[in-house]
Amino acid sequence: MPKNIVSYDEVLINFKKLLKSNTLKYTKQRELILEIIYNNNGHFTPEDIYNLIKESYPDVKLGIATVYRTLTLLEDASIVSSISFGAQGKKYEFGLKDHHDHLVCLECGAIEEFIDEVIEKRQEDIAKQFNFKMTNHIMKITGTCSACQAKE
Ligand SMILES: [Zn+2]
Ligand SMILES: [Zn+2]
């Protein structure tokens, strides 16, 4: 399982700066969105995040629009990253994790993570062939997961 590569304190400092530079106030609600995505390994829709916060903090007043807006802000700052699964939407994960790639089911939105040394190496080789300085790559296999195939 990929691990977060920065401490929560560090991310929180950057998040507060980000809010400030967008003339947005720091609120506990906004921090909870970051906290949930930092502490839960996996990929979440805005609704998933909203529901997780509601479950853990039933007294907190939160609108789904705040979740959407905060995720967009965090994504623009590369603190979270998103994976789209067709017309159904997007799932978010913490963006500063060990590198990994994804298998994405376009039927149900299930996402599996994988890391393959051969694929990693080939990409480095290709970049080298083109005298290209690689800084990142995004590898996404889309299709139908085994559970959805079984339903067909
Ligand atoms: Zn599926
Ligand atoms: Zn992932």
Count of domains observed in the chain: 2
CATH value at residue 108: 3.30.1490.190
Q: Answer whether residue 152 shows pLDDT above 80.
A: no
Question: Ligand 2 center to residue 137 CA distance, Å?
Answer: 13
Clarify whether residues 76 and 107 are in a common domain: no
Owning domain of residue 133:
99-152
Clarify whether residues 152 and 84 are in a common domain: no
Residue 40 CB neighbours (<10 A):
14
Clarify whether residues 89 and 116 are in a common domain: no
Asked which of 76, 97, 118 is the last residue of a domain, the reply is 97
| pLDDT band with cut points at 50, 70 and 90 for residue 97 | very high
Task: Dump pLDDT digits (tens) for 41-82.
Answer: 999 999 999 999 999 999 999 999 999 999 999 999 999 999
pLDDT, the chain, mean? 94
Asked which of 97, 115, 135 is the last residue of a domain, the reply is 97
Clarify whether residues 21 and 74 are in a common domain: yes
Which residues are within 8 A (CB) of 113 and not within 5 positions of it... i.e. 6 or more apart?
A: 1, 2, 100, 101, 102, 103
Question: Ligand 1 center to residue 150 CA distance, Å?
Answer: 9
Question: Ligand 1 center to residue 88 CA distance, Å?
Answer: 12
Question: Ligand 1 center to residue 140 CA distance, Å?
Answer: 15
Over pLDDT 90: what percentage of the chain? 92
Question: Ligand 2 center to residue 23 CA distance, Å?
Answer: 30
Ligand nearest to the CA of 152: 1
Average pLDDT value for residue range 25-30: 95
Ligand nearest to the CA of 41: 2
Instruction: List the Cα angle 56/61/65 in 5-degree steps.
Output: 100
Clarify whether residues 54 and 111 are in a common domain: no
Residue located via tokens 């950057």: 14
Instruction: List the Cα angle 86/145/36 in 5-degree steps.
Output: 65
Asked which of 54, 72, 97 is the last residue of a domain, the reply is 97
Ligand nearest to the CA of 146: 1
Clarify whether residues 42 and 56 are in a common domain: yes
Average pLDDT value for residue range 26-39: 96
Average pLDDT value for residue range 90-96: 95
Clarify whether residues 2 and 58 are in a common domain: yes
